[in-house]
Copies of this chain bind each other. A is one copy, B any other.
Amino acid sequence: MISGMTGAGQGILIVVSGPSGVGKGTVIAGLLERYPDLEVSISCTTRPQRQGEMDGKNYRFVSDSEFEQMRRSGQLLEWAQVHGQHYYGTPRAPVQEALAAGRTLVLEIDYQGAKSVREQLGNQSVLVFIAPPSWPVLMERLRKRHTESEQAIAERLASAREEIENMGMYDYVVVNDEVPEAVQQLSGILQAERQSMERFDWRGLREELLAQADEWG
Protein backbone atom coordinates (compact mmCIF):
# COMPACT_ATOMS: atom_id res chain seq x y z
CA MET A 1 0.00 0.00 0.00
CA ILE A 2 1.22 3.46 -0.80
CA SER A 3 1.41 5.38 2.41
CA GLY A 4 -0.78 8.42 2.93
CA MET A 5 -1.75 8.49 -0.70
CA THR A 6 -5.41 9.28 -0.32
CA GLY A 7 -5.89 12.88 0.66
CA ALA A 8 -2.23 13.59 0.10
CA GLY A 9 -3.22 16.37 -2.27
CA GLN A 10 -3.54 20.08 -1.71
CA GLY A 11 -5.98 21.65 0.67
CA ILE A 12 -9.21 23.04 -0.79
CA LEU A 13 -11.37 25.99 0.21
CA ILE A 14 -14.92 25.23 -0.92
CA VAL A 15 -16.80 28.49 -1.25
CA VAL A 16 -20.58 28.13 -1.22
CA SER A 17 -22.79 31.03 -2.30
CA GLY A 18 -26.36 31.43 -3.33
CA PRO A 19 -29.41 33.56 -2.61
CA SER A 20 -30.76 33.84 0.89
CA GLY A 21 -33.37 31.12 1.40
CA VAL A 22 -31.94 28.71 -1.16
CA GLY A 23 -30.87 26.27 1.56
CA LYS A 24 -27.09 26.67 1.64
CA GLY A 25 -26.92 25.78 5.32
CA THR A 26 -28.91 22.58 4.89
CA VAL A 27 -26.86 21.45 1.91
CA ILE A 28 -23.59 22.22 3.70
CA ALA A 29 -24.82 20.30 6.77
CA GLY A 30 -25.47 17.30 4.51
CA LEU A 31 -21.96 17.58 3.08
CA LEU A 32 -20.40 17.70 6.56
CA GLU A 33 -22.31 14.57 7.53
CA ARG A 34 -20.80 12.69 4.59
CA TYR A 35 -17.31 14.09 5.05
CA PRO A 36 -16.55 14.35 8.76
CA ASP A 37 -13.00 15.51 7.94
CA LEU A 38 -14.33 18.80 6.54
CA GLU A 39 -14.07 21.99 8.54
CA VAL A 40 -16.25 25.05 8.39
CA SER A 41 -14.64 28.46 8.30
CA ILE A 42 -15.95 30.61 11.17
CA SER A 43 -16.72 34.17 10.11
CA CYS A 44 -16.42 37.11 12.43
CA THR A 45 -19.26 39.61 12.60
CA THR A 46 -20.26 42.83 14.31
CA ARG A 47 -23.92 41.86 14.48
CA PRO A 48 -25.34 41.10 17.94
CA GLN A 49 -25.17 37.52 19.18
CA ARG A 50 -28.60 35.84 18.93
CA GLN A 51 -30.06 33.52 21.50
CA GLY A 52 -28.69 29.99 21.08
CA GLU A 53 -25.62 31.13 19.16
CA MET A 54 -22.20 30.34 20.55
CA ASP A 55 -19.26 32.67 20.14
CA GLY A 56 -16.58 30.87 18.13
CA LYS A 57 -18.99 28.25 16.86
CA ASN A 58 -21.54 29.99 14.67
CA TYR A 59 -19.60 33.22 14.47
CA ARG A 60 -16.85 35.00 16.24
CA PHE A 61 -18.62 38.07 17.61
CA VAL A 62 -16.49 41.19 17.58
CA SER A 63 -16.99 44.90 18.18
CA ASP A 64 -16.95 47.47 15.40
CA SER A 65 -13.50 48.65 16.45
CA GLU A 66 -12.11 45.09 16.64
CA PHE A 67 -13.47 44.41 13.16
CA GLU A 68 -11.99 47.62 11.83
CA GLN A 69 -8.63 46.73 13.34
CA MET A 70 -8.70 43.23 11.74
CA ARG A 71 -9.65 44.68 8.39
CA ARG A 72 -6.93 47.34 8.44
CA SER A 73 -4.18 44.96 9.47
CA GLY A 74 -4.99 42.55 6.62
CA GLN A 75 -6.27 39.79 8.89
CA LEU A 76 -9.41 39.33 6.77
CA LEU A 77 -9.44 37.30 3.58
CA GLU A 78 -12.66 39.01 2.57
CA TRP A 79 -15.30 41.12 4.30
CA ALA A 80 -18.62 42.75 3.54
CA GLN A 81 -21.19 45.06 5.04
CA VAL A 82 -24.57 43.36 4.74
CA HIS A 83 -27.67 45.44 3.97
CA GLY A 84 -25.69 48.55 4.91
CA GLN A 85 -25.63 47.43 8.54
CA HIS A 86 -23.38 44.87 10.17
CA TYR A 87 -19.97 43.72 9.04
CA TYR A 88 -19.00 40.12 8.28
CA GLY A 89 -15.50 38.86 7.50
CA THR A 90 -13.41 35.73 7.00
CA PRO A 91 -10.25 35.55 9.12
CA ARG A 92 -7.30 34.81 6.88
CA ALA A 93 -5.02 32.82 9.21
CA PRO A 94 -7.25 29.74 9.84
CA VAL A 95 -7.88 29.40 6.10
CA GLN A 96 -4.20 29.56 5.24
CA GLU A 97 -3.28 27.09 7.98
CA ALA A 98 -5.90 24.61 6.80
CA LEU A 99 -4.84 24.86 3.16
CA ALA A 100 -1.16 24.48 4.02
CA ALA A 101 -1.99 21.33 6.00
CA GLY A 102 -3.93 19.82 3.07
CA ARG A 103 -7.28 20.09 4.81
CA THR A 104 -10.63 21.02 3.27
CA LEU A 105 -12.56 24.04 4.49
CA VAL A 106 -16.10 25.14 3.65
CA LEU A 107 -16.92 28.84 3.56
CA GLU A 108 -20.40 30.32 3.02
CA ILE A 109 -20.17 33.83 1.61
CA ASP A 110 -21.80 36.06 -1.01
CA TYR A 111 -20.63 36.59 -4.58
CA GLN A 112 -18.46 39.57 -3.71
CA GLY A 113 -16.66 37.53 -1.08
CA ALA A 114 -16.31 34.64 -3.52
CA LYS A 115 -14.77 36.98 -6.07
CA SER A 116 -12.30 38.27 -3.53
CA VAL A 117 -11.35 34.71 -2.45
CA ARG A 118 -10.79 33.66 -6.06
CA GLU A 119 -8.55 36.68 -6.65
CA GLN A 120 -6.45 35.86 -3.63
CA LEU A 121 -6.41 32.06 -3.56
CA GLY A 122 -6.83 31.17 -7.25
CA ASN A 123 -7.49 27.48 -7.79
CA GLN A 124 -6.97 26.60 -4.14
CA SER A 125 -10.59 27.70 -3.95
CA VAL A 126 -13.54 25.94 -5.56
CA LEU A 127 -16.56 28.18 -6.08
CA VAL A 128 -20.01 26.58 -5.92
CA PHE A 129 -23.25 28.44 -6.55
CA ILE A 130 -26.43 26.99 -5.07
CA ALA A 131 -29.37 27.99 -7.24
CA PRO A 132 -33.09 27.66 -6.53
CA PRO A 133 -35.16 25.51 -8.91
CA SER A 134 -37.34 28.56 -9.60
CA TRP A 135 -37.94 32.09 -8.35
CA PRO A 136 -41.39 31.34 -6.83
CA VAL A 137 -39.83 28.44 -4.88
CA LEU A 138 -37.17 30.80 -3.53
CA MET A 139 -39.81 33.34 -2.49
CA GLU A 140 -41.79 30.63 -0.76
CA ARG A 141 -38.75 29.35 1.13
CA LEU A 142 -37.84 32.88 2.23
CA ARG A 143 -41.32 33.58 3.54
CA LYS A 144 -41.54 30.25 5.31
CA ARG A 145 -38.20 30.52 7.02
CA HIS A 146 -38.07 34.09 8.18
CA THR A 147 -40.44 35.79 10.51
CA GLU A 148 -39.34 39.01 8.94
CA SER A 149 -40.94 42.21 7.78
CA GLU A 150 -41.96 42.60 4.14
CA GLN A 151 -39.19 45.14 3.81
CA ALA A 152 -36.56 42.68 5.04
CA ILE A 153 -37.87 40.07 2.58
CA ALA A 154 -37.77 42.60 -0.25
CA GLU A 155 -34.13 43.33 0.65
CA ARG A 156 -33.31 39.64 0.58
CA LEU A 157 -35.00 39.21 -2.80
CA ALA A 158 -33.05 42.16 -4.21
CA SER A 159 -29.81 40.54 -2.98
CA ALA A 160 -30.94 37.19 -4.38
CA ARG A 161 -31.34 38.77 -7.79
CA GLU A 162 -27.84 40.18 -7.60
CA GLU A 163 -26.42 36.79 -6.56
CA ILE A 164 -28.14 35.10 -9.51
CA GLU A 165 -26.88 37.76 -11.92
CA ASN A 166 -23.32 36.91 -10.85
CA MET A 167 -23.48 33.11 -11.00
CA GLY A 168 -21.28 33.01 -14.09
CA MET A 169 -18.11 33.52 -12.04
CA TYR A 170 -18.52 30.22 -10.16
CA ASP A 171 -16.91 26.88 -11.03
CA TYR A 172 -20.03 24.81 -10.42
CA VAL A 173 -23.76 25.26 -10.05
CA VAL A 174 -25.93 23.00 -7.89
CA VAL A 175 -29.71 23.36 -8.11
CA ASN A 176 -31.26 22.80 -4.70
CA ASP A 177 -34.57 21.30 -5.73
CA GLU A 178 -34.44 18.20 -3.50
CA VAL A 179 -31.87 18.46 -0.68
CA PRO A 180 -30.46 14.88 -0.93
CA GLU A 181 -29.76 15.36 -4.62
CA ALA A 182 -28.11 18.73 -4.01
CA VAL A 183 -25.97 17.18 -1.24
CA GLN A 184 -24.94 14.39 -3.60
CA GLN A 185 -23.97 16.89 -6.27
CA LEU A 186 -21.93 18.98 -3.82
CA SER A 187 -20.28 15.81 -2.49
CA GLY A 188 -19.42 14.80 -6.05
CA ILE A 189 -17.77 18.16 -6.62
CA LEU A 190 -15.57 17.72 -3.55
CA GLN A 191 -14.74 14.14 -4.54
CA ALA A 192 -13.86 15.13 -8.10
CA GLU A 193 -11.73 18.07 -7.01
CA ARG A 194 -9.74 15.75 -4.74
CA GLN A 195 -9.11 13.35 -7.64
CA SER A 196 -8.26 16.07 -10.17
CA MET A 197 -4.71 16.14 -11.51
CA GLU A 198 -4.43 19.69 -10.25
CA ARG A 199 -4.78 18.55 -6.63
CA PHE A 200 -4.04 14.85 -6.44
CA ASP A 201 -0.37 14.03 -5.96
CA TRP A 202 -0.20 11.91 -9.11
CA ARG A 203 3.51 12.54 -9.56
CA GLY A 204 4.18 10.97 -6.17
CA LEU A 205 1.93 8.03 -7.00
CA ARG A 206 3.53 7.49 -10.40
CA GLU A 207 7.03 7.64 -8.99
CA GLU A 208 6.20 5.10 -6.29
CA LEU A 209 4.45 2.70 -8.68
CA LEU A 210 7.34 2.84 -11.16
CA ALA A 211 9.92 2.31 -8.39
CA GLN A 212 7.96 -0.74 -7.25
CA ALA A 213 7.74 -1.99 -10.84
CA ASP A 214 11.54 -1.77 -11.10
CA GLU A 215 11.91 -3.66 -7.86
CA TRP A 216 9.33 -6.40 -8.52
CA GLY A 217 9.78 -6.69 -12.27
Residues in A lying within 8 Å of B, measured CB to CB: 1-2, 5-6, 129, 131-137, 139, 157, 160-161, 164-165, 167-168, 170-175, 177, 184-185, 187-197, 200, 202-203, 205-206, 208-210, 212-213, 215-217
CB pair B173–A213 under 8 Å, yes or no, is: no
CA distance A46 to B1 in the complex (A): 38
Q: Which 10 A-B pairs have the closest CB atoms?
A: A188-B191, A192-B192, A135-B212, A188-B188, A189-B192, A172-B195, A188-B192, A135-B213, A173-B202, A164-B209
Instruction: Pick the contact of A193: B136, B165, B170, B192 (CB < 8 A).
Output: B192
CA distance A208 to B173 in the complex (A): 15
Instruction: Pick the contact of A195: B6, B164, B188 (CB < 8 A).
Output: B188
CA distance A167 to B201 in the complex (A): 12
Residues of B within 8 A of A197 (CB): 168, 170-173
Q: Is the interface of A mostly helix, strand, loop or mixed?
A: helix
Distance (whole angstroms) from the CB of A177 to the closest CB of chain B: 7
Given contacts A172-B197, A195-B189, whether A167 and B131 have CB atoms under 8 Å apart is no
Residues of B within 8 A of A209 (CB): 131-132, 134-135, 164
CA distance A213 to B168 in the complex (A): 18
Known: A172-B192, A172-B200, A187-B191. 12 other contacts (CB 8 A): A1-B134, A5-B175, A135-B209, A160-B213, A161-B213, A167-B206, A171-B196, A172-B197, A173-B202, A187-B188, A188-B190, A188-B195
Distance (whole angstroms) from the CB of A5 to the closest CB of chain B: 6
